[in-house]
Amino acid sequence: MSGTYNSASYVEDILLAETGFREYDARWVIQPTGDGTPVGLNFVGARVLGLHLGRFLAEELDAGRRIVVGHDFRSYSENVKNALVVGLLQAGMDVVDIGLTTTPGAYYAQFSLDVDCVAMVTASHNENGWTGVKIGHRKASTFGPDEMQKFKSYTLTAQAAGTEGRSGSYTFSEGAREAYLDGLVEEWADRFDGLPRLKVAVETGNGTAGLYAPMLLERLGFEVVPGNVEPDWTFPNFNPNPESVPFLRAVESLVAGSGADVGLCFDGDGDRLGVVDDLGRLVFADRVGLVVAKFLEEQIKVAGPFVIDVKSTSLYESELASDIVWAKTGHSYVKAAVAESGAVAGFERSGHFFFGEPLGRGYDDACVAALALLWALCSAKATEKDWNLSAKLSLLPKSFASPNRQPYVSDETKYAVVDEIAAYFEENRRLAGQPIARINRLNGIRVELEDGSWLLVRASSNSPNLVIIAETFDEDGALLKAIDADIRSVVAATGVAVGSFDSLAEF
């Protein structure tokens, strides 16, 4: 069907666009967003998705028939989840519904309820109008590209299949949120025992995490300065995305106005964390991860390895004694690398933090990430004069980093555009007038200069955009501006009509 919104066909026909099956989760527009992205899913499509997901989990992956489901705080998310549940029941799945939750809350429920499979209905940090599903068939694991490709093929070739077979069962599990909060308080209380507490500014952008983060920190003794923490599915202030400049600027203002020791912001479904230091300055998540990793390595005497994604600073390799494992960007990639390498933690520049034993269960949880950072800072405050985050960051080599710029490129053309850009750098072997020392094609293309400065260009896995990031180690940041000008020229030369390219001046 065409995907025309507010029509009889939208209500009656199957709308389940192929482009919604992404590298490590699924994302569609279910209501018009205003930016021209086509509507790609309706509730009939969500039911069909549930039907084939249930069959795929039980019959293709042999993952059993029990599944935890939950949904984030958007006006349509519960309806999407309910449609998905109907399909899962048709497929014979035994559904355990935990209702409104963050994504880490759903992952936690897999452990607390002893259920292997999970389907979390969330658009994460995407704008309103988007929806999606994060899927897992093992605890602390979500679908990666192989599973998503097989599930996509299975679903799109089986849409006309019948619904005969075993009927499933439905249970609503009361108290999942309380169990999650109680569990984290119990696990972390001893670590904070005897340590001074901090004043913490908390911003959730009216997203789901507002029901979790402030309460958790208050129960552990922190003074919380709340921002926009009341859930409001219109997102009246800004989109809850820790890489969004307006979101981060709000946290900076909250810290500056309250005298907080640190500012924390949580994305729409609570699995990503953004940080502002005590001076009201944004700290990119790869730097936050490095501070935490140094604390674990030097103070807690935890030997790595540590996993980082290709968007992360190159300082991990020079600043840590532990082994460093590089991974593709994406929560499933980093999560899998943490499990495969037995890493203590994994850090992704977008704000996903993954903590294995003894701090976590291996999945990304912004609340756990916040507690790990606060543990490092509270421990330093107990014994050091210069204990705050700005002081810790000042000990690291100086660098200049760009924001996460995401010019629009359609889902159908974005990978070809990246390949064209990669071919340019592989042939010319120069960036901003300097020779390229190393090229990494693990995920898109990351080009590095001899001094460690680098540029990454990759296709976003969950939206129609490129992802462009750079970091330089010069004295005045001039090289970063030169790289910015260079990549703009290279992108323009592809001949593909890209959308707005947010500038460094706006950051």
Sign of the CA dihedral with 241 first, then 234, 466, and 435 last: negative
Q: How far apart are CA 471 and CA 314, in angstroms?
A: 9
Q: What is the largest CA-CA distance in the chain?
A: 68
Supply the DSSP string of 141-187, one letter for each residue: B---HHHHHHHHHHHHT-TT----S---EEEE-TTHHHHHHHHHHHH
Single out the catalytic residue among 2, 75, 77, 124. Answer: 124
If you compute the radius of gyration of the chain from its CA atoms, what whole number of angstroms results?
22
Element (H, E) at 370: helix 366-383
Sign of the CA dihedral with 45 first, then 47, 51, and 56 last: positive
Q: Is 124 assigned a catalytic role?
A: yes
Sign of the CA dihedral with 408 first, then 409, 415, and 419 last: negative
**Other C-beta atoms lying within 10 Å of the C-beta of residue 38:** 16
Q: How far apart are CA 352 and CA 271, in angstroms?
A: 6
Residue tagged 């953004």 (tokens): 274
Sign of the CA dihedral with 407 first, then 413, 415, and 419 last: negative
Supply the DSSP string of 416-432, one letter for each residue: HHHHHHHHHHHHH-EET
Q: How far apart are CA 226 and CA 69, in angstroms?
A: 29
Q: Which residues on adjacent β-strands are paired with residue 130?
A: 29
Q: With contact defined as beta carbons under 8 Å apart, do 28 and 127 qualify?
A: no
User: Shortest CA distance to 135 belongs to which of 253, 215, 62, 53?
Assistant: 53
* Tokens of residue 70, six digits: 């939950």
The alpha-helical segments, DSSP class H, found in 13-102 are 43-55, 77-90
User: Shortest CA distance to 346 belongs to which of 310, 398, 301?
Assistant: 310
Decide the pairing of beta strands 26-29 and 223-226. Answer: unpaired
Q: Supply the residues annotated as catalytic.
A: 124
